[in-house]
Structure 1
């Protein structure tokens, strides 16, 4: 077997120990070993990741399953820990798992494969051993232009509305919406992207053939048909509390930035955002009511390094390429805003009630009588003022609005 450093064909990779054949493809032996390790080593096991980096997948599987004492020489290995790995290794049947994913129309993507997203290498020793993938899209290409939208499961109608809007808006701007397919914000973000025919990917904390939560079986099926369903765990494996937490690091590393819509102080969504920060990705938050406990975690995030965002264009301005700017935001422009400073001062000099002659207006406005008179006639033509005998008064509000529109201001 030819041992070489796995590299992304365009981005160079980070050399974390994948074994590749002469043509650059991951060898069959390497793929089988990595598939087996997804049964043996839990996602996010830093010790296992270090052994994988030091030994390579094939050698690590040999040591964990062999009886020659080589496993005991792994740094940090104890008899109790080894017994746990070997117990799990008894049920590792990588050929069957690979056949199962193929039957689903999916594949097992390893470091060194062309489809492997090299940004996952930023995770170092907690990088996924490999990813089980369902869906017709190219994982690496989709990940290059992706944003995570995450948040509370028990979200409010406001949170659901914002997540769906962000999902739809990002998809319409050509971005892939990544989330965890959970109830609440995750599901709303996926549905928002799907509603506009956009791109979305779900990262699961279980096998990609396990619809979890059960209530999202149809949604996960739609994502698998139109986008991507991704997981570190082999087919048929079920989620646990710890696996949900570990899943979040993959979401953070895979995407250019993470947006949190609603989250309490203790929330897995905040774990995702803070992991994104540690990896040098952007973390963003959508503000909510100051009195809402479901927005308390987001607000705490915003008090740190997270950036406040309110729509998809603001997100893209942060994570996108040069020139992808959000539109300028201004309040409404009223006809009075278009007056030059002297004319506006003459208008301000008229009393709120009653009339004033031209000399009084000039004195208050600080202009000459002739200039004040000229400005008053201009204001009359625009519908702001009207004659009252020898004096001038403000026009009724309705008249001012209608005449100003007719005046072309």
Structure 2
């Protein structure tokens, strides 16, 4: 699929243009990095900890939550660092951290050692994503910004959907539950090299900061106060996502007896749907207005998640999962484009503050998801009963539906959206 014709700001051009444009470099970087993170956190670590090291689901999700909480808490400071010290430095350092931790995961089996490794992974992700979204906003003119965010978000979400297939296929092919760690390390090495080779070096004036700035904590707090509604919306959306993200592969293996690679192949269906729909949806979001795109995308996703939670038929679940992904593709880029324009001079810090809430929300969701999965079944007044392993999915549906309602209060149509 061809990339959208996104024209960078003239200020972003240099006399010696790289082989790839900054925007295309960011797209490739985001796809490789998120494929690596998804393979690690959604595919490899949960199954490896439970089936190879014999941890319970509650312990698995507690370890996974360390990554999410570390990422969430550190996103705002890392967004600030990208404003001060430049985008390229952080986008190179971040994948190098997880390259190292993936290799260390081969030899460290202690619970607390795994928690430390996942905290370092969270630090890397906190460096990468606010910096990447801020770099997109730096590189693309305002009228095309939602479309650009959509294209970057496509690679992010396709990486999420493809990670379980890549990790599962590696483990099944080599008949070794450690094989995926080598694949993950290779992905992050490639990510680092892509940024090093093709992303342009930062210029001193490009991310200039106020010399009289009173300090990083003050600046971060100021950024939080500028976008509290978006932080609330981020918290509720990602709390819902956190309830299922670390358990979805274990659920498929427990409920349907899937192998690792078969589960990954099933997720390729929504990945293909996302690929086909992403750029048209980005254009649609620009035309219909970002607030409408956010409202409709979250509503569609919430409705389909109720279907996923209550259905047992795989075909229905796959179709509903694809529509859920499309809803997020419509809503999320418009949402990030809105946030990026709150205060362009502090774009990195603001994006970091808003996405900090994402990590905190997903971390809280992950913390409780293992307990729900093991112990809390659902009985709808004797009319319908569901096993405990479906409870996190009902919680996810509830939180996304609540988020859709909150979005009507937080994101309102304004004249400049027309």
Instruction: Please give the range of the TM-score, normalised by the shorter of the 2 chains.
Output: under 0.3
Question: If each structure's helix is expressed as a fraction of its own residues, which one has the higher value?
Answer: 2
> Greater relative contact order: 1 or 2 (C-alpha under 8 angstroms, separation 6 or more)?
2
- TM-score w.r.t. the length of structure 2 is 0.26
Higher-Rg structure is: 1
